[in-house]
Structure 1
């Protein structure tokens, strides 16, 4: 199967002010976020990217466009609703400091599989949605470009954590142990028998190795060379 590079959008004005943006329209990258997105593009530039798929929200589209601009060969750029931010319902637009006082906050922190946002979606539904979207696109890229293909998915923090948790075989209730920073890069290769998590939450370093790492079916006993 192909390899997916998961990129969280760069920092936004909402991130900087401690507001849960959710699906609020018009939330864009701030100056720091634009630089972060450009850096992510520079890191990925050594990889022959088959396509870029992004959440339709502005902050992700800006990040995806910055990545595409840095690539020597411009791949198709597609929007995917399955990668869109969690629907936080009535929590959307409120400050994290205020939300931390809500009884649901503890559930989100300790038992996210039971968390349902008032007027929004559950975290379990969010995970099912994004995992299905990533696996569907990965299969499509593999079918069109082969097992050695690499593609980029630009999404949001909780969604990328949910995809990583699925690939690691972690219960959703453990996904808060993962950390995904703005414009960070994580890498998953979906194998025939299991996913291989090649990197998580990286913020620096050339990613050319992603394209040269051999595709294997089995995990090497002892860790390999």
Structure 2
């Protein structure tokens, strides 16, 4: 898969009180954006954690909020109870301190995400600092912006010739689970462990027969949720010889938070500003949920581990709409708008070949011919 430009973290043991320094920016406002965050020991000033990530296209203010969220997440993961936040963004500091209103609808979900993290600590204090006192976070943010700009400008790597590759690829057969009650009603189905509907079992059997046509399978990787593990079990049963099923937690669906079990229209009508912000940026999470940026990071990790364990072999990967769409987005070097434009049917099959030299070939996307008789 293409290289992961997601968050980078370095950590050491933590004291109870920490300092979070955060920054973010964009080249163009909006433009290629990124953030940086540094967590320091509250007593010694020693660096405990650093985070930085490219955001794609975003505004300066959105990137600054993303930096704050990343810093607070790092502090929470390290077990801090008291946090001093220091930023050179007057806007973010004053809004989070409650002294300024958050007028821009696109910033409200980010501020809400930060506020939710703040509740994990016994106390959080906000302090504006001049840029020269925020140089560490600023440097990380600039590196992330550089990565975002390079990713936007980089041409797709081309093969040097039409000569076929001789090394076998690692073939991913991406299978969405069969239908559930929520699938049939087009509702967001994230972490809820809903079972396959009877129609979904039939779809999964049909998908299993199709996957068996790809030849020997090294293993069947699956999300831990039962709608996927059941589909994966049927795939393993249909294959000859029967491969083992590997449960991979990182393949779980996106956590849709307060939008779980809602339709697109219901989620949009509940909080139009939050919904629009989510559609507009992979850094924004549904209220109480998980951003696509975080989903992408863990899914890339899962695919990299599967590729290492099963190099040059064929692996069905049974998962959900969001993880599969993110894999296809990366494989096709597509933009973030792809995530809301690709439709994946229940029990649909997509195939991606990953070559040892870094080449990627997308063979099929959302193949459904095997479902035509149902």
Alpha carbons 2:173, 2:351 under 8 Å: kept:
yes
Residue 132 of structure 1 is matched in structure 2 by 301
Whichever structure has more helix as a proportion of its residues is 1
Cα deviation digits, residues 9-61 of structure 1 (max 9, x gap): 01101112343221113x01111111110000111112211100100001001
Structure 1 length as normaliser, TM-score? 0.82
Indicate if the aligned counterparts of 1:189 and 1:198 stay in contact, CA closer than 8 A: yes
Which segment drifts farther, 3-12 or 15-24? 15-24
TM-score in terms of structure 2 length: 0.51
Using CA pairs under 8 Å that are at least 6 residues apart, name the structure with larger relative contact order, 1 or 2: 1
3-state SS, counterpart of residue 49 of structure 1? coil
SS in 1 for 2:209: helix
> What whole-Å deviation, never above 9, does each CA across 1:129-170 have from its counterpart, x for those lacking one?
11221122012101xxxx2x1111000011101110011111
CA-to-aligned-CA distance 1:84-108 (integer Å, 9 cap, x gap): 0101112123344311313233344
Greater C-alpha radius of gyration: 2
Number of the residue aligned with 2:232: 64
The answer to whether structure 1 residue 184 and structure 2 residue 353 are counterparts is no
Separation (CA, whole Å) in 2 of partners of 1:88 and 1:167: 24
Task: Tell me which of 96, 102, 105 is aligned to 2:275.
Answer: 105
Of 50, 54, 66 in structure 1, the residue corresponding to residue 222 of structure 2 is 54
Aligned to 1:17: 185
Which of 305, 308, 315 lines up with 1:151 in the alignment? 315
Q: Which runs of 5+ in 1 are unaligned?
A: 206-225
Q: What secondary structure is seen at the aligned counterpart in 1 of 2:369?
A: coil
Structure number with higher strand proportion = 2
Q: Unaligned regions of 5+ residues in structure 2, if any?
A: 1-168
RMSD: 1.6
Partner residue, 1:84: 252
Cα offsets for 1:156-188 (capped at 9, x unmatched): 011101110011111223322222111000011
Q: Does 1:120 align with 2:285?
A: no
User: Is 1:160 the counterpart of 2:327 in the alignment?
Assistant: no
Residues 174-206 of structure 1, C-alpha deviations (whole Å, 9 max, x = no match): 32222211100001111222211111100125x
1:28 aligns with 2:195: yes
Equivalent in the alignment of 2:366? 201
State whether residues 162 and 172 of structure 1, in contact with CA within 8 Å, keep that contact through their aligned partners in structure 2.
Answer: no
8 Å CA contact retained: 2:212, 2:238: yes
Deviation at 1:118, TM superposition (A): 1.3
Contact 1:187-1:200 within 8 A present in 2 as well: yes
How many residues in Structure 1 have an aligned counterpart in Structure 2?
198
Q: Does the 8 Å CA contact 1:9/1:37 hold for their aligned counterparts?
A: yes
